[in-house]
Amino acid sequence: MLYADSEMRGFYLIVTPTKRGFYVQSLVNGRQVRTKLGDHPAMDAKQARDAARKTLVDMRAGANPNEERRKARARGITLRESLDLHLAAKPLSPRTKEDYRYNCEQYLEDWLDKPLAELGADRAGMRERHRRITERHGAPSADNVFRIFRALYNRGLREHPDLPPNPTANVDYHGLRRRKVDVEAERLLAWGKAVLGLHPVRRDLHLFMMLTGMRRTSACEARPEDLDLCAARLHVPKPKGGSTRAFDLPLSAVLVDLLGHRLNESPKLQRKARWLFPAESESGHVAEVAQHELDGLTGHALRHCFSTLAVRAGVPLLELKYLLNHAAGNVTMGYIHVGVEHLAKHQETASRYILGALGLMHEPGTWPPKLTE
C-alpha cells in the first residue's frame, strides 16, 4: 500500500506485508525518480519528513540521489572486496585462488583496504609500484602481480562503472617471452639415462610428464580412481582452469604400462587409492619436482619438450592442442570436438618417438624401459 503525505507532495509511506519504508519521488532533469529514505521504525515520521524536504529540494535542482549513492559505493569498494568478488564469481581452481591471494598479500598488502577509486586515480603510482617490484623481485613477478591487479580492477569496474579507467594502462609490462627449452639429441639422451637412476616413483613421474606434457600439479595429483587402464585413459578432473576444463587423457601402450606398474607396485597404494605418485609429504604425493640429476629438464620444461618432440614425430598441431588441453583460441576451435579414440593414435606416435629420442626401449607389458645401448 502507498500512502501519500497530505502536506508534502512527493513524500510517501509504502507498506508491504514485511516492512514499511519512507520514499520521495520527483522529476529530475525531466525524468521521474523515486528514492528510498529509510525504514520505519528505524526512521520515525519526523526524521523522514525532514529528510524528504531536503531530498526533494536537491532533486528539483537536478540531483539524482540514486546516482549519488551508486557513485559513493563505487568510491568505497576496496581492492580486497574486488578480490573476493572475482574469486567468488569464477570457477577457479584452489591453486589459482591461492595464487591470486598470495600475490595480493605479498606485493600489494598496503593496497588491499584502499578504495579502487583512490588506486585508479593514481596512475603514476601504478607505474612506480611495478618498477619497485621489478627491482626487488624480478620482471616476471612484477608482470604477474599487475596482470592480477588488472583483472581485479576490471571486476570492480563491472560492478561500479563510475570508477576511473583501469590505471594499469599506464604500466609498461616487460612482455617476457616464453623460455626456449633446449631439446637437442645429446641432452635428451643424457636425460633418459639419468631418469632411470632415480627413485622409482620419481622416475615414473618424470617419464609420465615427458610422455604426456601434463602440467606439474595435475601429474602429481593424479589418482588411481581416475585411471581406466582397460580403456587406456586417465581422467583429469581439475586441470589448469578448474573443473570446467576437465578432460580425458589418452594413454599410449607405454603409458598404460607405466601407470599399471604404479598401481601394482605398492599394496598400500592399492588399498588406500589416493595418489599414483605417492610420497612422504604433507599432501601424501610428490609435490616438488626439481631434480638436479635431470639438468633442468623438469616441471614445465617437460611440457615444452613434449610439444616439440610430438610435432617432430608428426602429431598435427590441432591434435597436439587437445592432448595438451589448451583452451580453444578461436571460434572454429570451439566447434571442434575430438574424442579420446581419435587422439590415442597420436599419443602413441608421440610416445614412440619420445622414447627413441631419450635412448630408451620399452618392451610391451613390462616396466621400466631400458637403455637402447
Mean pLDDT of 346-366: 95
Work out the mean pLDDT of the chain and round it to a whole number: 87
Residue 257, classified by CB atoms within 10 Å of its CB into exposed (0-12), middle (13-18) or buried (19+), is buried
Per-residue confidence band for 351, with pLDDT thresholds at 50, 70 and 90? very high
Same fold flag, 2-63 and 185-371: no
Whether the model clears a pTM of 0.75, i.e. scores above it, the answer is no
In the block, cell 618424470 appears at 206
In the block, cell 536537491 appears at 58
Residue 75 pLDDT: 64
Digit-coded pLDDT (tens) for 223-267: 999 999 999 999 999 887 777 788 999 999 999 999 999 988 765
DSSP-assigned states of every residue in 67-87: HHHHHHHHHH-BHHHHHHHHH
Digit-coded pLDDT (tens) for 262-308: 988 765 544 444 899 998 888 889 988 888 999 889 988 999 999 99
Q: Alpha-carbon distance 113 to 124, whole Å?
A: 19
Digit-coded pLDDT (tens) for 45-57: 889 888 888 888 8
Where does 2-63 sit in CATH, by number? 3.30.160.390
Residue 358, classified by CB atoms within 10 Å of its CB into exposed (0-12), middle (13-18) or buried (19+), is buried
143 vs 71, more confident: 143
Digit-coded pLDDT (tens) for 305-334: 999 999 999 999 989 999 998 876 665 666
Q: Alpha-carbon distance 314 to 320, whole Å?
A: 10
169 vs 334, more confident: 169
Residue 357, classified by CB atoms within 10 Å of its CB into exposed (0-12), middle (13-18) or buried (19+), is buried
Residue 311 pLDDT: 95
Domain limits, the chain: 2-63, 76-170, 185-371
Run of H or E including 133: helix 123-137
Q: Alpha-carbon distance 218 to 10, whole Å?
A: 63
Q: Assign domain 185-371 to its CATH architecture.
A: Orthogonal Bundle (1.10)
Mean pLDDT of 166-179: 82
